[in-house]
Structure 1
Amino acid sequence: MTAPSRRIVFLGTHGQYNIGDELLLETFLTQLGSQHRYLVNSYDPAFTRAQLRPRFDVEVIDTGADRLRMLRALRSADLLVFGGGSIIKELYASTGRNPYSTLAMILGVVTFARRIARKPVAMLNIGVGPLRTRTGLWLARRILSQVDLVTVRDQKSLDTCRGLGIDAILVPDAVFSADDAFLLQPADDSAAPRTEGPVRVALNLNFDIENPEAWEPFLDRLAEALEGVHSRHPLEVHALPMQIGFKQHDDVDVLDDLARRLTTVPFVRHEPRTHADAARLIRDSDLLVSERLHAIVMASILGVPSFVLAYDVKVRELAKTLGIAERTIDINDPFDVSTLVDGLIDLIAHREEVSAHVRSRSAALRETARRSFEEARSWATGR
């Protein structure tokens, strides 16, 4: 029996050329089902249309310019879904925006959907936090108390919801529902041939950290650590920018900045444009060193060991979920360069063991994520 079709307004951070966000969008629409009709927001509607059509029946509106159109669409939709990402949060000072701007916008949309359009609302596989102030907590409570179904992707988010008096369900990040074939689509021939030589390190950096004053000292320490490892285990660093464009200090800019600080370590510049490009780069590396959450998720699914550069709560929580918290360093505070050197060298020495661990852990999370999507599909089709 064919599942019923629904008109779903699906909102998130799309069209900012962030590979992780675009991968979330692909994942959610695939898991919710291609039989539905979707209205999706995007900062670049043409980009998002090209990404999704013709596989999905989707109308794409401009996030900034079409807000009235979105509200009108809510009146004729069957439900509103927010999918993945750190949705309920105060923005860091490094973004240059009002810390409550995202919360205020979401509060307006959710309130309209529930009180004016009278539609059910779901927030699926989201992150909740950071919420550092009374105002942020108040806004979060006002939003979440109006949502019918809340699933969160980490324990910290669940604890925060409980502290707000919100009934939430703990599930994995949505991308854990993917497997190798999904990440690497369209299929290519095979992995790059493995040869003797330097350790290939895929490296991702993201400027938007909790403590922006720590950024320059962090880059200096990271460069020094990579040089220190290279003197003992020859490295070849491969740039893995997960966001190219849209904002100042994008991942390409900060990776280039790091490259200028390296004196002996070979640095290979890449500009992946899709999640498949990024997945292939990760697959063909020996290990990943990364800030961004979805680079680490993809690496774990592909069995590539990660050293985590924890820049905020969601990445720290992911490291705990994957059981690699000991292979993590917090980049918001000063750290001893030797600690990072020793950690990377230990990971190189044990990379096959860590690879097997994260692949096994990801497989278990995949089963849980897919079960959670079965429940989400049942909820959506029952509206």
Structure 2
Amino acid sequence: MRSLLSGYYGKGNGGDEALLATLLQMLPSHVTPVVLSGNPEETRDRYNVEAHDRMAIVPVLQALRSCDALIWGGGSLIQDVTSTISPFYYGGLMGLAQKMGLKTIAWAQGIGPLVRPQTRWMARQNFAGCTKVSVRDRASAALLSDWQIPHILAPDPVWALASKPLPELENLPTPRVAVTLRQHPQLTPTRLTNLTRALVDFQKATQAFILLLPFQKSEDLGIAQAIQPHLADVSQILCLEDPQILKGVFRGVEMAIGMRLHSLIMAAAEGCCCFALSYDPKVNRLMEDLTIPGWDLATLPDDPHFISQTWLEHYTNSQRISPEKIQFLIDGALTHRDLLHQVFT
């Protein structure tokens, strides 16, 4: 069997690449993946899969005709807050696949926010037509329940992504703290300045080595480069393309301060304590589910000293997620794998 995988792949986003890597890890061995990607050559080389340009109409249609199934491959694909085009792209592809008679799977979805009536209506039609649906959070499950659409709720599949160590990490000083920030309207210049000052104070108090981890170069690298000169000789920017290695970095980290959802999931899965800076409801949902401390960026304290002291207290006194809880979440995430095996038996 051949299955077309559709997601925000090949765009340099570590979280979405981690979802793709996990999906490929979970697909039954007799299913041949065909990936729609923003960078098909890179995707082909990294994962050894057939890949096509996600925006090239003729190759996409040819790929659809050659496949037996379409999988929406995880994450917040169906939302209309950061992009009005995105839900129509994914929704149109799903609707076309359903009309062509393909098996269709909405896999590990985080649905919404959906603020426009037309995208909400289209999303409901798409999900109702799917062969199987799995979601990664309670809010998405509640929405599908309201729509009376059968679904499975399980932790984000990246909990179960096999990680790989980064050998170079052994040469960097310990203890280590990882920081993952991204461009966002709520991360104003004033807030970034306050976070940078807080990070400098926090580093002096802990003597930790700061790892600045851009999860998406186009969004994150500029911020890391703005912070790094203030932490000369006690920090390093790590740009890692392999999502398994990106996850593995957190094995050697004491604490993670993160905006990005999958930076927090990866860190928690590797036994690292976490502090969240939320810019999106999906991050708040994770904070609630795991009782991760943090702030919404919109209400970030104005005092850098207060920020650094809060981090220091968390660094000193925080309880990590227990190994038993981590294993429970990993086992739960494997439910997304079981769903794939059910569809493709």
Using the size of structure 2 for normalisation, the TM-score is 0.90
Q: How far, CA to CA, are the matches of 1:113 and 1:62 in structure 2?
A: 17
Give the percent of matched residue pairs that are identical in Structure 1 and Structure 2.
26
SS of the aligned residue for 1:232 comes to helix
1:170-191 deviations in Å (ceiling 9; x for gaps): 111111123xxx211xx67697
Q: Which residue of 2 is the match for residue 323 of structure 1?
A: 291
> Are 1:259 and 2:228 matched, yes or no?
yes
Q: Give the corresponding residue for 2:21.
A: 26
Checking the alignment, whether the CA contact within 8 Å between 1:302 and 1:359 is kept in structure 2 is no
Give, in angstroms, the shift of residue 359 of structure 1.
Answer: 3.8
CA deviation after TM superposition for structure 1 residue 128, in Å = 0.5
Cα distance in 1 for partners of 2:131, 2:244 equals 34
332, 335, 341: which one aligns with 1:368: 332
Q: How does 1:203-282 map to 2 (within 5 A)?
A: 203-207=179-183, 209=184, 212-244=185-217, 247=218, 250-260=219-229, 262=230, 266-282=234-250
Instruction: Within 5 Å, give how 1:80-229 maps onto structure 2.
Output: 80-92=70-82, 99-115=83-99, 117-178=100-161, 182-184=162-164, 192=170, 199-207=175-183, 209=184, 212-229=185-202
1:165 Cα offset (Å)? 4.2
Q: Deviations over 1:125-164 (max 9, x none)?
A: 1110122333332332232222221111011221233344
1:62 to 47, 53, 58: 53
Cα gap change, 1:16 to 1:358, in 2 (>3 Å): farther
> What are the Cα deviations for residues 102-124 of structure 1, in whole angstroms up to 9, with x where unaligned?
11112211111112x11121111
- Name the amino acid aligned to 1:15: G
8 A contact 2:11–2:38 mirrored in 1 = yes
d(CA) in 1 for partners of 2:131 and 2:146?
A: 18
Q: One-letter code of the match for 2:72?
A: F
Deviations 1:299-351 (A, max 9, x none): 11211111111111111112222232xx1211133434355333311221125
What is the CA–CA distance in structure 1 between the aligned matches of 2:302 and 2:147, rounded to whole Å? 37
5+ unaligned residues in a row in structure 2: which ranges?
A: none
Q: What is the alpha-carbon distance in structure 2 between the residues aligned to residue 347 and residue 122 of structure 1?
A: 40
Runs of 5+ in structure 1 lacking a partner? 1-5, 93-98
- Structure 1 residues 252 and 191, CA, compared in 2 at 3 Å: closer, same or farther? closer
1:313 equivalenced with 2:281 (yes/no)? yes
Shift of 1:273: 2.2
What's the CA shift for 1:272?
Answer: 1.8
SS in 2 for 1:129: coil
Q: Is the 8 A contact 2:202 2:311 kept in 1?
A: yes
| 1:2-56 deviation line (CA, Å, top 9, x unaligned) | xxxx211111111112222222111111111232112111111110011112xxx
Equivalent position amino acid for 2:267 in 1: A
State how 1:334-349 maps to structure 2 within 5 Å.
334-337=300-303, 339-349=306-316
Partner of 2:344: 380
Q: Report the CA distance between 1:59 and its aligned residue.
A: 1.7
Q: Conserved in 1, the CA contact under 8 Å of 2:108 and 2:336? A: no
Number of equivalences: 344
Aligned partners of 2:178 and 2:188: how far apart in 1? Answer: 20
Q: Using structure 1 for the length normalisation, give the TM-score.
A: 0.82
